[in-house]
C-alpha cells in the first residue's frame, strides 16, 4: 500500500515523513549517507577512483596525453573534466548527446576545479610552448541517486592523489620525446575541495545529502564546496530563498563534513600507497 | 563606493510578448519573453506552467557554460513567477548576450526580471542581481577591475525585494566566510538602487 | 522434479530455462513458464507454485521483485488524468492491479467509455479534471502506443480529487464530490468504492462527519 | 571574364567539339529496376542518373496527409564516388536538400496530384556520375520514371542549362568543364508544349538584354530534350507492348 | 514484404523437397551478371546483379598517413550507402543500421593480413601510405546482400589500378611523391585470397544458400561465412533464431564448399572480361 | 572530428604517451612465446582455463535489473530498464523489441576512447542484441521495448562475452521472461594453440598471423550458448581459421560455457532468496 501512496502523491508522502522529522530512508535531517572510496582500481587509467555516497556511485578515470600548450599560456597544461550521465544510471536519461543536466553539472565541476586550484596547471607543463600534459578527467555515473556533485568531487580527489604520470625527457631540437613507463612521478595536489549539497523543502526544512526523490521534490538546491577553511564555491541556482542564519548553519555543517571526508581520503590513499 | 550605471529600453522587439535591452556598466544583454504558450507533451506539468530559458552567447554555438546560466535563470524565474495560475502551459525566456565586460550573470538576471515584470505575468516578488568583485588586495568593489587577473574572487547575489533573502548565489574564485558576508552586506545596499531603477523604468513608460 | 513443491517457507526455487516437469494431461504450463518438446520450462527466476484449477494442475512461477508487468486487457489500473478534450481524456497509468509501475504508460478514455448509461450524453468536463486519480479497466488493445481505458462500471471512476483550493474532496453521490473546507460541490464520475480499502483512516471521520 | 573567351573557338566549336546550340548525347532506358513502381536511367553526356518512383501509396506520417491532393516527396542524393573528389556523405548536406526541394517544385507543377487524395508519391534520384548539368538530368530522369510508373502527368517537364560565351554567344547544355571555366549558367525547367517555365535559377549575374537570348536558347533546348525523351518513351512502350502482345507492330 | 503463415509453410515444404519456389535446389544460386569499369572517376569499379539484387562498388585511392600503432600498413575503409531507390524505408537515415552491419562484416572479413595484405599499400614507413576507399552503393535489395556485396568488392579490387610511385624525396618533414599518371605502369593488387561471403539460411531442418527476400523472412537463423582460400575469415550469425552446434558446423562446411565454387566461377568471369566492352545500365 | 558543443573540449590534437616509450623490439613470435611459455600463460593459467568470475546482481538501484561482472581485471556493468514504448514506430508489432547499447568508458582501454559511439561499439551492440534476442521471450511484452545498457570500466580481454553473460543475469534480475540462461565465452587461436578467455594482450596477439607456416590458423571466436537447450544463440569469429580448427574449438567453447553456468545460477538464486526474505519481513 505504501508504494502506491508514494507513486500517487509523492509530495504528501514526503510531508508526512518530514512532519515526524525523519526521512523515508530513516535518516535525520542533517545525517549523511555512508560514504565509501576505493582508489586505483583501473590500471589502464593513470589515476582512478570509485566513490559511493549511499547508493550514488561515480567512477572517475584520468588519462594523460601529450599536447601543445596554447600560445597565450605557453607554460600551462590542460585539465578537461567531463561528467557522463549515461542512460545506464537512471531511466531519466536517453542515449545520445549529453542531457542539459549533465552539461550543467560538468560546468559546475569544471568551475570547482578551477576555483579550488587543486592542481596548478603549471605543474603539467613539460617544456614551455612545446609540450605539456593534458589530463582528461572523465566521470561516469553508475547509479544516479542524488548529490552527484559531492560523489564526483570525492572521486576526483581520490584519483588526483593517486595519479602518477610517466617521466618524460624531451629534446626540443629534434622534437622527440622518450617516455619511461617505470619511473612515474606523482602530480602535487595543492588543496582538497570537499563539496556538500543541501536541499530546501517547502521553504523551511533543510535536508543534507539528498536522494534523487528529494532532489526532484525539493524547492531549492544549495551546493557548498570548502577548501580548508575557505569556501571555493557557493552555488545556489534559484529555488526558495534562504535566510542568513540557515546559510551559516549550512556552512558549519560543511566544516564538520569536510574534516571527516579528509580523514577518509587520507586513510584510503595511505593504504593504497603502502600496498 | 562607485556603482555601475544602469540603462534600459523596453519594448525593443515586436514578436515576443515583452522585451528589453538592459545594460549594467558596459555589459549589455537583450531579453525577450513569450507569455503562457502551448507546451510540448513531454514537458507539460499538470498543475503549473513549465518555465524554460535559453541563453545565446555573443559568438558561436551555446556551449556548456551557457547551459549553466540557463539553468540558473530558469530556476530563479520559476520561483519568482506564480506558475500555478497558468497550468499546462509554458513560459519561455530568451536571452542574448550582446557584450560582456564583467557583470554578465547579474546583467542577464536583471534583464530577465525586467522582462517578467513587463510581460504582466503575476510574480510573487521582484528579484535583482548584484555582482561584487574581490581584488587581489582583498578589497571589495562593485565595478570590475581593469585587468582580469587582478580579481581574486567574484560573487553574484540574487535577492528578492520583500525580505532581501538570498534567492540565488554563484561564486568564482576562493574566499573566506567573512569576505562572503561582507559581500552580502554590500550587495544588500546596492540592491536598493537596482530595485529603485526597476520601479522608475516601469512607472515612466518606455525609455530610461 | 515431479514431487509437489513445498509450502511457502522453503519454496522450490527455479531459474530461467530450468525444466520443471513433463507437460502431460495432469500438468499444464501457467504464467511464467513455457512448454517446449513435451516439457514445461520456467521463464523467470523465482519460486514454483502449483495451482489446481478444475482437476488440472497449472504450474506457475512467481518472481517476487517487480515483474515486468504490462497492462493486459481486463486489468484494473490506477491512472492520473492529464489532459481533457471534448472527445477523450488522456491519462497516465501509474499502477496495474497493485504493482506500481516505474514508468507510467499513456492511456486514453474515450467519451463513450466513461459511463455505461446514456453513453452519448456524457460531458467529459463533468466527469474528470486534470490531476484526478481514477480506477479504470483496460479495453482490448487496438492502437499501437496508447491503451484504451473504460470507467463504465460503478466501481470505476474518480477515487481521489482535489478541489480548486487544493483540498482533498469527499464523494457525496455518484456524480458529485464536495470539498470539506469550502463545501463547494464539483461534478465528477465518482467510483463507488467501499471506504476501508482505499481511503486513509483520517478520511473516514471526514466521511462520517459530512454524512450526518 | 577574359578566361571564358576560349570557351568557343573562332570557328564556333566548344571545348568538347560541340556546336553552340548542340545538346550532349542523351541516352535513356526505362524500367531498369523491378522493385520500384517506375524507374529510369538517363545519361546526358557523361552525367549518369538513376531515378525511382514509389507510389501513390499510403502516407507514412499521418499528420502530413492532405484530404484533396497527394503529397510528393523527393530525395536527391549523389553517390560518394560520383565526383572527382570523394564526397564524405551522399546526402543530408545543404546542396542536396536544396536540389530535392527544386525537384519537388518541378514535379508538383506536372503531376495531377488531385487524382490521389490522402496518398504520397516518392521520387528518389541517385547521381552515379556528375559531369555538370546534374539538376536537369535529374528532372528529365524523374519525368521518365513517372511515365514508367504510369502516374498521370500533364506534360513532360524538361530542364536544360544555358550559358554565355565571349559574352554574346549563348551556349546550351553546360558540361562540368565549362561550368568551372566561369561564365554565368542559367538553369531552366519548363513545360515544352505550353511553354510555361516551372523553375529558373542563375548561378551568376546576367546582363538584362543577354538574358532574353539565353532564356530563348534554353527553352529551345527543353523542346529538343522533350523530343528525345518522347521518342525513347515510345520505343519503350512499343517494346513492352509487343512483348505483351497488344501493340499493333506495324 | 510480410508473409502469412500459409506462404511460410509453402516455402518450408519447398525446401524440404529440395525444390524451391523458383525451381532452384537448396545449393543453387540465382543467375548473376558482373561488369567492371563502370565508374570512370574511380580507380576500379564493378557492378553485380544477383537476380534483382543490384550492387555497385567503386574503389578510390588517396595518399594518407598510416596509423601510429601500425606504421607498415596502408588503410582500407568500407563505406556502404543504401540508396532510397532500393526501398522507401532507406530514405534519409533509414538504411543506416543495415549499412553499418554490412560494412562491419566486410571490415572484420578483410582484417587478417593473410586475407588481404595491407603492407603492400605502404609507400614510406610511418609517414605515407595509400588509403583505399571501397564505396558500396546498394541499388536494389532482392535478398542475400552479403554474397552480392562480397563478390562485387572482390571484382572491384581486382579491377583496381594502383598508381606507381616513381620517386619519393624527403626534406625536413615534408615529403613529396612523384606519381606516374600513365595507365600502363599501374600495378594490380593481389586479390587471390580476398574473402567470399556465403549466407547459409536455416529454413525448417534444412540449410539453404542464396535466400531471396521471401525465404529470408521465414528463416529462423542464418550464418554468414566469409571464406578466404581454404580458411574461414569471418563467421557472423544474423537473424533472431539460435542454432544447434551441429547445424552450425553443417552450415560452415556447406559455406566453405559453396564459396570455393563461387570463387572459381568469379575468376572465370573475370578472365573473360575484355577491356572497354559496352557496359552499364543501357545494355 | 566536429567540435562537440555539448562537452568541454580539450586541445585539438592530443597524442597518447605510450607511443613514445622505448620501442619494444621483440618480434611478435617471441612476444607470443613469452605469453604462452611451456603450457603456462603469464597469469599461470593453463591455455584452456577460464579466469575466476565475480558476478553480483542488483548493483544499480535506479535500474529495474542490473549486474556487475569481473573476469580477472575486466570489469563490465550492465543495467536493464523496464519496457517502454518503441520510439518512432506506429505499426503494431507482435514481438517486443530489445535495444542494446555497448559502450567503453573513456578510460577503460590503453588508448583513450571517444565519448561518441564508434564503429566497433556499434558492432558489439549489434552482436549483443542478436545474442539476447533469441533468449528473451519477446512475445510476452508485445509492442514494447526493453533497454539494455552495458558499460566497460576496465578492458582486459573478452569484454563482449563478459557483457553478454552479465546482461543475461541483469535481465532475469529485472524479471524479464527468458527461455534460458545465457553464458558467453571468448577463445583466441594462434598457431594451433587455443587460449580460452584471453586477456587484452593475448587477444591482440591472436588477431595477427605470427607463424609463417601456411596452414596455421589464427583468430578470435566469441560464442554465447543457451544452457539447457544446448543452442548457440550467437557466434562471431574473425581472423583466419581452418574448418577443422573451428569445429574442434566449438566443442571447447561448448564445455567452457557449461562451466560458467553454476556461477550464474548461484548469483540468481542468491537474488531470489534475498527477495523472498525481504518479502517475508515486510
Q: Is B177 on the interface with C (CB under 8 A)?
A: no
For chain C, the straight-line distance linking the first and the last C-alpha, in angstroms and rounded, comes to 62
Is E279 among the domain residues?
A: no
Summarised one tens digit per residue, pLDDT across range B122-146 is: 999 999 999 999 988 888 888 887 7
Chains E and C touch (3+ CB pairs under 8 A): no
CB contact under 8 A, C95 and A7: yes
**CB neighbours of D97 closer than 8 A, spacing ≥ 6?**
D91
Cα separation, E10 vs E19, in Å, equals: 11
Q: Please give the mean pLDDT across all residues of chain F.
A: 87
User: Touching F: which chains, 3+ CB pairs < 8 A?
Assistant: A, B, C, E
Exposure of F118 by Cβ count < 10 A (0-12 exposed, 13-18 middle, 19+ buried)?
A: exposed
Option in B61, B62, B64 nearest F7 (CB): B64
Task: Out of 3.40.920.10, 3.40.50.1000, 3.30.230.70, 3.40.228.10, select the CATH number for domain F28-281.
Answer: 3.30.230.70
Check CB contact of F203 with chain E, cutoff 8 Å.
no
Write the class of the CATH domain C76-211.
mainly beta
Q: Which residue has the higher pLDDT, E192 or B206?
A: E192
Range with the poorest average pLDDT among A30-39, A194-203, C185-194, E41-50: C185-194
Task: Indicate contact of F with E: 3+ CB pairs under 8 A.
Answer: yes
Say whether pLDDT at E168 is over 90: no
The reply to whether residue F250 touches residue E108, judged by beta carbons under 8 angstroms, is no
As a three-state string, the secondary structure of chain E is CCCCHHHHHHHHHHHHCCCCCCCCCCCCCCCEEEEECCCCCCCEEEEEEECCEEEEEEEEEEEECCCCCCCCCCEEEEEEEECCCCCHHHCCCCCHHHHHHHHHHHHHHCCCCCCCCHHHHEEECCCEEEEEEEEEEEEECCCCHHHHHHHHHHHHHHHCEECCEEEEEEECCEEEEEECCCHHHCEECCCCCCCEEEEEEEECCEEEECCCHHHHHCCCEEEEEEEECCEEEEEEEECCCCECHHHHHHHHHHHHHHHHHHHHHHHHHHHHCCCCCCCCCCC
Over residues D22-32, the mean pLDDT reads 91
**Chain F interface test: which of C21, C68, C69, C92 (most F C-beta within 10 Å):** C68
Once rounded to an integer, what is the mean pLDDT over residues E156-167? 86
A229 touches chain F (CB under 8 A): no
pTM as predicted:
0.89
Q: Which chains touch A (3 or more CB pairs under 8 A)?
A: B, C, F
Q: Do chains D and E touch (3 or more CB pairs under 8 A)?
A: yes
Res. D152 pLDDT band, cuts 50 70 90: very high
Under DSSP, the state recorded for C162 is B
Report the pLDDT value the prediction gives residue B42, as an integer from 0 to 100.
80
F212 burial type by CB count under 10 A (0-12 exposed, 13-18 middle, 19+ buried): exposed
Residues of B in contact with F6 (CB under 8 A): 64
Residue from E231, E239, E250, E253 to probe the interface with F (highest F Cβ count within 10 Å): E231
What residues in A contact B163, CB-CB < 8 Å?
241
| Boundaries of every domain in chain D | 2-244
Query: What pLDDT score does F88 carry?
Result: 66
Q: How many folded domains does chain A comprise?
A: 1
DSSP secondary structure, A147-171, as one string: -HHHHHHHHHHHHHHT-EEEEEEEE
The answer on pLDDT for A225 being more than 60 is: yes
Asked whether the domain spanning C76-211 has the same topology as the one spanning C13-62, the reply is yes
Indicate the pLDDT class of residue F280, thresholds 50, 70 and 90. Answer: low
Q: What is the mean pLDDT of residues F108-135?
A: 91
Please tell me the distance from the alpha carbon of residue C148 to that of residue C137, in angstroms, as a whole number: 9
> What CATH number does the domain containing E50 carry?
3.30.230.70
Query: Among D128, D131, D134, D142, which would you mutate to test the E interface (most chain E Cβ atoms within 10 Å of its Cβ)?
Result: D128
Q: Which residue has the higher pLDDT, A149 or C66?
A: A149
Contacts of B46 in chain C (CB under 8 A): 80, 82, 130-131
Domain ranges of chain C: 13-62, 76-211
CA distance F160 to chain C (A): 22
Mean pLDDT of E46-51: 91
- Decide if A104 is inside a domain: yes
Chain C residues with beta carbon closer than 8 angstroms to that of B42:
none
What's the confidence (pLDDT) of residue D187? Answer: 92
* CATH 3.40.50.2300 corresponds to the domain B6-203: no
Give yes or no for A98 touching F (CB within 8 A). yes
Query: Is residue E283 situated within a structural domain?
Result: no
Interface test with F, best of A43, A44, A139 (most F CBs within 10 A): A44
User: Sorting pLDDT into bands at 50, 70 and 90, what band is F24?
Assistant: low
Q: Which of A1-10, A38-47, A134-143, F85-94 has the lowest mean pLDDT?
A: F85-94
Query: CB of C65 within 8 Å of any CB in chain F?
Result: yes
Residue F261 clears pLDDT 80, i.e. is over it = yes
Decide: C and B in contact? Rule: 3+ Cβ pairs under 8 Å.
yes
- What pLDDT is recorded for position B146? 76
CB atoms within 10 A of CB D84: 10
- For residue A228, the domain's CATH number is 3.30.230.70
Gap from B106 CA to chain C (nearest CA, Å): 36
Interface contact F239, partner E, CB < 8 A: yes
The whole-number pLDDT of residue C3 equals 41
- Segment among A159-163, A235-239, B111-115 with least mean pLDDT: A235-239
Residues F241-246 have a mean pLDDT of 89
Distance (Å) from the alpha carbon of C38 to chain B's nearest alpha carbon: 48
As a whole-number percent, the residues of chain C with pLDDT over 70 amount to: 82
Give the chain D residue whose CA is nearest to the CA of E44: D81
What pLDDT was estimated at residue B102? Answer: 83
Number of residue pairs across B and F with CB atoms under 8 Å? 7
Q: Name the pLDDT band for D5 (thresholds 50, 70, 90).
A: low
Mean pLDDT, range D204-229, rounded to an integer:
89
* Boundaries of every domain in chain B: 6-203
Q: How many CB atoms lie within 10 A of CB E275?
A: 6
Residue A124 lies in a domain: yes
**Whether E92 and D43 lie within 8 Å, measured CB to CB:** no
CB contact under 8 A, F8 and B64: yes
> How far apart are the two ends of chain A, measured CA to CA in Å?
50
Which of C 169-208 lie inside 8 A of B, CB atoms? Answer: none
Residue A167, pLDDT > 50, answer yes
What average pLDDT does the segment C51-72 reach?
76
Taking the Cβ of residue A90 and every Cβ of chain F, the question of whether any pair is shorter than 8 Å is answered with yes
Nearest CB neighbour to F101, from listed A44, A59, A95:
A95
- CA–CA distance, F82 with F148 (Å, rounded to integer): 9
pLDDT at position B207 is 55
Q: In angstroms, what separates the C-alpha of F4 from chain B's closest C-alpha?
A: 9
Q: Do F107 and A142 touch (CB under 8 A)?
A: no
* Domain count across chain E: 1
Cβ-based contacts of F218 with chain E (< 8 Å): 112, 114
Q: Which fold has domain D2-244?
A: Ribosomal Protein S5; domain 2 (3.30.230)
Mutate: best of B38, B45, B46, partner C, most C CBs <10 A: B46
Does residue C176 surpass a pLDDT of 90? no
Q: Which of the pair, D53 or F277, is modelled with greater confidence? A: D53
Residues of chain B in contact with residue A104, where contact means CB-CB under 8 angstroms, are 67-68, 71
Q: Determine whether the interchain pair C144/F90 forms a contact, defined as Cβ–Cβ distance below 8 Å.
A: yes
Of C56-65, C107-116, E63-72, F70-79, the poorest mean pLDDT is in C56-65
Predicted-complex ipTM score: 0.88
Domain C13-62 belongs in CATH node 2.40.50.100: yes
Q: Which domain holds residue E253?
A: 5-272
Q: Is the pLDDT of residue D4 over 50?
A: no
Residue of A nearest to F84 (CA): A91
F141 with C68: Cβ contact below 8 A: yes
Cβ separation of A89 and F62 shorter than 8 Å? yes
- Chain F stretch 140-199, residues whose beta carbon is closer than 8 A to a beta carbon of chain A: 147, 149-151, 153-155
Is residue E227 included in any domain, yes or no?
yes
Query: In 3D, which of A128, A117, A113 has the Cα closest to residue A69?
Result: A128
Asked whether residue E85 carries a pLDDT value surpassing 90, the answer given is no
Least CB-CB distance to E249: which of F221, F234, F247? F247
User: Of C94, C98, C103, which has the smallest distance from its Cβ to A8's Cβ?
Assistant: C94
Q: Is the pLDDT of residue C208 over 50?
A: no
pLDDT of residue F102: 95
Alpha carbons C68 and F147: distance in angstroms, whole number = 13
Residue A269 inside a domain? The answer is yes
Residues of A in contact with B177 (CB under 8 A): 229, 231, 248, 251
pLDDT-derived band of residue B88, with 50, 70 and 90 as boundaries? confident
Amino acid at each position: 500500500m505504501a508504494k502506491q501512496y508514494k507513486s500517487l502523491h509523492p509530495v504528501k508522502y514526503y510531508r508526512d515523513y518530514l512532519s515526524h522529522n525523519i526521512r523515508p530512508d530513516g535518516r535525520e535531517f542533517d545525517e549523511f549517507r555512508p560514504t565509501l572510496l576505493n582508489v586505483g582500481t583501473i590500471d589502464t587509467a593513470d589515476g582512478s577512483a570509485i566513490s559511493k555516497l549511499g547508493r550514488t556511485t561515480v567512477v572517475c578515470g584520468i588519462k594523460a596525453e601529450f599536447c601543445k600548450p596554447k600560445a597565450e599560456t605557453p607554460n600551462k597544461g590542460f585539465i578537461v573534466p567531463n561528467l557522463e550521465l549515461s542512460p545506464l544510471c537512471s531511466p531519466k536519461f536517453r542515449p545520445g548527446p549529453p542531457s542539459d543536466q549533465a552539461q550543467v553539472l560538468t560546468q559546475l565541476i569544471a568551475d570547482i576545479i578551477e576555483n579550488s586550484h587543486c592542481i596548478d596547471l603549471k605543474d603539467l607543463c613539460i617544456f614551455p610552448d612545446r609540450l605539456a600534459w593534458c589530463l582528461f578527467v572523465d566521470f561516469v555515473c553508475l547509479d544516479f541517486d542524488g548529490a552527484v556533485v559531492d560523489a564526483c568531487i570525492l572521486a576526483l580527489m581520490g584519483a588526483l592523489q593517486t595519479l602518477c604520470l610517466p617521466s618524460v625527457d624531451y629534446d626540443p631540437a629534434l622534437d622527440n620525446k622518450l617516455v619511461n613507463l617505470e619511473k612515474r612521478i606523482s602530480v602535487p595536489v595543492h588543496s582538497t575541495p570537499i563539496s556538500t549539497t543541501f536541499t530546501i523543502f517547502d521553504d523551511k526544512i533543510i535536508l543534507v545529502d539528498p536522494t534523487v526523490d528529494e532532489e526532484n521534490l525539493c524547492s531549492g538546491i544549495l551546493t557548498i564546496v570548502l577548501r580548508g577553511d575557505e569556501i571555493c564555491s557557493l552555488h545556489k541556482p534559484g529555488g526558495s530563498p534562504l535566510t542568513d542564519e540557515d546559510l551559516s548553519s549550512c556552512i558549519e555543517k560543511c566544516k564538520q563534513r569536510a574534516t571527516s571526508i579528509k580523514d577518509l581520503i587520507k586513510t584510503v590513499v595511505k593504504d593504497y600507497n603502502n600496498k | 563606493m562607485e556603482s555601475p550605471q544602469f540603462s534600459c529600453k523596453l519594448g525593443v522587439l515586436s514578436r515576443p510578448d515583452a522585451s528589453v535591452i538592459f545594460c549594467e556598466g558596459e555589459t549589455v544583454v537583450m531579453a525577450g519573453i513569450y507569455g503562457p504558450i502551448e507546451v510540448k507533451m513531454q514537458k507539460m506539468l499538470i498543475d503549473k506552467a513549465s518555465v524554460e530559458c535559453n541563453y545565446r552567447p555573443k559568438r558561436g554555438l551555446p556551449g556548456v557554460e551557457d547551459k549553466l546560466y540557463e539553468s540558473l535563470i530558469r530556476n530563479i524565474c520559476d520561483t519568482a513567477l506564480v506558475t500555478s495560475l497558468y497550468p499546462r502551459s509554458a513560459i519561455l525566456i530568451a536571452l542574448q548576450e550582446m557584450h560582456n565586460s564583467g557583470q554578465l550573470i547579474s546583467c542577464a538576471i536583471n534583464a530577465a526580471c525586467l522582462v517578467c515584470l513587463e510581460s504582466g505575468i503575476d510574480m510573487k516578488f521582484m528579484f535583482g542581481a548584484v555582482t561584487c568583485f574581490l581584488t587581489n588586495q582583498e578589497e571589495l568593489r562593485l565595478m570590475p577591475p581593469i585587468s582580469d587577473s587582478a580579481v581574486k574572487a567574484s560573487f553574484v547575489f540574487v535577492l528578492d525585494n520583500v525580505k532581501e533573502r538570498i534567492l540565488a548565489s554563484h561564486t568564482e574564485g576562493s574566499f573566506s566566510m567573512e569576505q562572503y558576508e561582507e559581500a552580502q552586506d554590500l550587495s544588500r545596499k546596492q540592491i536598493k538602487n537596482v530595485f529603485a531603477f526597476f520601479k522608475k523604468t516601469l512607472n515612466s513608460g518606455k525609455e530610461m | 522434479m515431479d514431487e509437489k513443491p513445498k509450502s511457502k517457507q522453503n519454496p522450490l526455487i527455479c531459474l530461467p530455462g530450468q525444466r520443471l516437469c513433463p507437460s502431460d494431461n495432469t500438468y499444464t504450463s501457467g504464467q511464467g513458464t513455457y512448454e517446449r518438446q513435451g516439457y514445461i520450462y520456467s521463464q523467470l527466476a523465482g519460486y514454483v507454485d502449483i495451482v489446481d484449477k478444475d482437476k488440472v494442475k497449472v504450474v506457475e512461477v512467481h518472481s517476487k521483485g517487480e515483474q515486468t508487468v504490462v497492462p493486459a486487457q481486463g486489468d484494473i489500473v490506477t491512472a492520473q488524468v492529464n489532459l481533457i478534450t471534448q472527445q477523450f481524456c488522456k491519462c497516465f497509468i501509474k499502477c496495474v492491479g497493485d504493482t506500481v509501475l516505474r514508468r507510467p504508460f499513456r492511456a486514453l478514455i474515450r467519451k463513450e467509455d466513461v459511463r455505461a448509461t446514456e453513453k452519448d450524453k456524457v460531458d467529459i468536463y463533468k466527469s474528470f479534471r486534470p490531476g484526478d486519480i481514477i480506477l479504470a479497466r483496460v479495453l482490448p488493445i487496438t492502437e499501437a502506443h496508447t491503451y484504451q481505458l473504460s470507467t463504465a462500471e460503478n466501481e470505476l471512476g474518480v477515487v481521489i480529487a482535489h478541489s480548486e483550493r487544493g483540498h482533498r474532496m469527499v464523494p457525496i453521490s455518484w456524480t458529485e464530490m464536495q470539498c470539506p473546507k469550502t463545501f463547494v460541490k464539483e461534478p465528477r464520475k465518482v467510483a463507488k468504492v467501499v471506504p476501508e480499502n482505499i481511503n486513509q483512516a483520517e478520511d473516514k471521520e471526514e466521511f462520517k462527519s459530512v454524512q450526518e | 571574364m577574359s578566361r571564358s573567351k576560349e570557351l568557343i573557338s573562332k570557328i564556333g566549336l566548344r571545348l568538347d567539339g560541340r556546336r553552340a546550340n548542340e545538346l550532349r548525347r542523351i541516352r535513356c532506358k526505362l524500367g531498369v529496376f523491378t522493385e520500384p513502381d517506375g524507374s529510369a536511367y538517363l545519361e546526358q553526356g557523361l552525367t549518369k542518373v538513376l531515378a525511382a518512383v514509389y507510389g501513390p501509396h499510403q502516407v507514412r506520417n499521418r499528420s502530413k496527409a492532405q484530404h484533396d491532393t497527394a503529397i510528393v516527396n523527393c530525395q536527391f542524393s549523389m553517390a560518394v564516388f560520383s565526383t572527382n573528389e570523394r564526397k564524405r556523405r551522399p546526402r543530408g548536406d545543404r546542396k542536396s536538400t536544396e536540389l530535392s526541394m527544386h525537384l519537388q517544385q518541378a514535379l508538383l507543377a506536372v503531376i495531377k496530384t488531385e487524382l490521389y487524395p490522402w496518398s504520397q508519391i516518392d521520387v528518389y534520384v541517385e547521381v552515379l556520375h556528375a559531369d555538370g548539368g546534374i539538376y536537369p538530368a535529374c528532372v528529365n530522369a524523374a519525368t521518365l520514371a513517372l511515365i514508367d510508373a504510369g502516374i498521370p502527368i500533364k506534360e513532360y517537364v524538361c530542364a536544360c542549362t544555358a550559358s554565355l560565351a565571349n559574352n554574346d554567344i549563348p551556349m546550351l547544355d553546360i558540361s562540368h568543364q565549362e561550368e568551372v571555366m566561369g561564365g554565368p549558367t542559367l538553369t531552366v525547367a519548363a513545360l515544352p508544349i505550353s511553354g510555361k517555365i516551372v523553375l529558373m535559377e542563375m548561378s551568376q549575374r546576367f546582363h538584362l538584354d543577354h538574358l532574353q537570348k539565353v532564356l530563348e536558347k534554353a527553352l529551345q533546348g527543353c523542346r529538343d530534350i522533350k523530343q528525345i525523351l518522347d521518342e525513347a518513351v515510345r520505343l519503350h512502350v512499343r517494346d513492352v507492348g509487343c512483348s505483351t502482345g497488344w501493340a499493333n507492330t506495324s | 514484404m510480410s508473409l502469412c503463415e500459409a506462404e511460410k509453410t509453402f516455402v518450408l515444404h519447398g525446401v524440404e523437397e529440395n525444390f524451391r519456389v523458383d525451381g532452384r535446389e537448396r545449393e543453387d544460386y540465382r543467375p548473376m551478371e558482373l561488369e567492371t569499369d563502370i565508374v570512370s572517376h574511380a580507380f576500379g569499379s564493378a557492378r553485380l546483379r544477383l537476380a534483382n539484387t543490384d550492387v555497385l562498388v567503386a574503389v578510390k585511392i588517396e595518399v594518407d598517413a598510416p596509423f601510429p600503432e601500425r606504421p607498415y600498413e596502408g588503410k582500407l575503409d568500407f563505406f556502404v550507402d543504401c540508396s532510397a531507390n532500393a526501398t522507401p524505408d532507406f530514405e534519409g537515415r533509414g538504411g543506416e543500421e543495415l549499412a553499418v552491419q554490412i560494412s562491419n562484416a566486410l571490415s572484420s572479413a578483410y582484417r587478417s593480413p593473410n586475407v588481404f595484405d595491407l603492407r603492400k599499400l605502404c609507400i614510406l614507413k610511418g609517414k605515407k601510405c595509400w588509403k583505399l576507399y571501397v564505396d558500396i552503393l546498394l541499388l536494389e535489395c532482392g535478398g542475400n546482400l552479403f554474397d552480392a556485396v562480397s563478390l562485387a568488392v572482390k571484382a572491384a579490387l581486382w579491377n583496381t589500378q594502383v598508381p606507381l610511385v616513381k620517386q619519393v624525396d624527403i626534406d625536413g618533414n615534408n615529403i613529396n611523391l612523384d606519381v606516374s599518371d600513365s595507365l600502363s605502369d599501374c600495378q594490380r593488387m593481389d586479390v587471390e585470397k580476398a574473402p567470399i561471403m556465403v549466407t547459409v539460411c536455416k529454413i525448417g531442418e534444412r540449410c539453404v544458400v542464396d535466400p531471396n527476400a521471401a525465404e529470408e523472412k521465414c528463416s529462423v537463423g542464418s550464418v554468414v561465412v566469409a571464406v578466404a582460400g581454404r580458411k574461414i575469415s569471418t563467421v557472423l550469425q544474423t537473424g533472431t533464431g539460435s542454432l544447434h552446434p551441429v547445424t552450425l558446423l553443417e552450415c560452415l562446411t556447406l559455406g566453405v564448399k559453396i564459396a570455393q565454387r563461387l570463387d572459381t566461377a568469379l575468376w572465370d568471369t573475370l578472365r573473360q572480361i575484355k577491356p572497354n566492352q559496352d557496359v552499364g545500365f543501357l545494355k | 572530428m566536429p567540435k562537440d558543443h555539448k562537452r568541454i573540449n580539450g586541445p585539438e590534437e592530443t597524442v597518447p604517451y605510450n607511443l613514445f616509450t622505448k620501442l619494444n623490439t621483440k618480434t611478435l613470435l617471441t612476444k607470443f612465446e613469452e605469453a604462452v611459455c611451456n603450457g603456462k600463460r603469464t597469469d599461470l593459467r593453463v591455455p584452456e582455463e577460464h579466469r575466476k568470475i565475480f558476478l553480483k546482481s542488483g548493483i544499480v538501484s535506479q535500474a529495474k535489473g542490473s549486474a556487475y561482472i569481473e573476469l580477472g581485471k575486466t570489469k563490465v556493468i550492465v543495467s536493464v530498464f523496464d519496457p517502454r514504448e518503441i520510439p518512432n514506430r506506429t505499426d503494431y508489432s507482435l514481438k517486443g523489441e530489445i535495444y542494446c547499447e555497448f559502450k567503453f568508458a573513456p578510460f577503460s582501454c590503453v588508448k583513450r576512447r571517444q565519448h561518441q559511439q564508434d564503429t566497433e561499439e556499434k558492432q558489439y551492440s549489434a552482436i549483443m542484441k542478436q545474442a539476447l534476442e533469441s533468449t528473451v521471450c519477446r512475445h510476452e511484452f508485445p509492442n514494447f521495448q526493453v533497454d539494455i545498457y552495458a558499460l566497460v570500466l576496465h578492458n582486459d580481454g573478452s569484454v563482449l562475452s563478459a557483457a553478454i553473460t552479465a546482461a543475461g543475469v541483469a535481465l532475469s534480475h529485472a524479471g524479464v521472461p527468458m527461455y534460458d540462461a545465457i553464458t558467453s565465452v571468448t577463445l583466441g587461436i594462434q598457431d594451433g594453440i587455443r587460449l580460452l578467455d584471453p586477456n587484452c594482450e593475448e587477444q591482440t596477439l591472436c588477431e595477427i598471423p605470427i607463424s609463417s607456416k601456411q596452414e596455421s590458423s589464427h583468430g578470435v571466436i566469441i560464442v554465447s550458448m543457451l544452457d539447457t537447450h544446448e543452442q548457440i544463440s550467437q557466434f562471431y569469429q574473425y581472423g583466419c581459421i581452418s574448418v577443422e580448427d573451428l569445429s574442434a574449438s566449438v566443442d571447447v567453447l561448448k564445455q567452457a560455457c557449461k562451466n560458467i553456468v553454476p556461477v550464474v545460477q548461484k548469483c540468481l538464486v542468491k537474488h531470489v532468496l534475498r527477495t523472498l526474505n525481504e518479502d517475508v519481513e515486510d
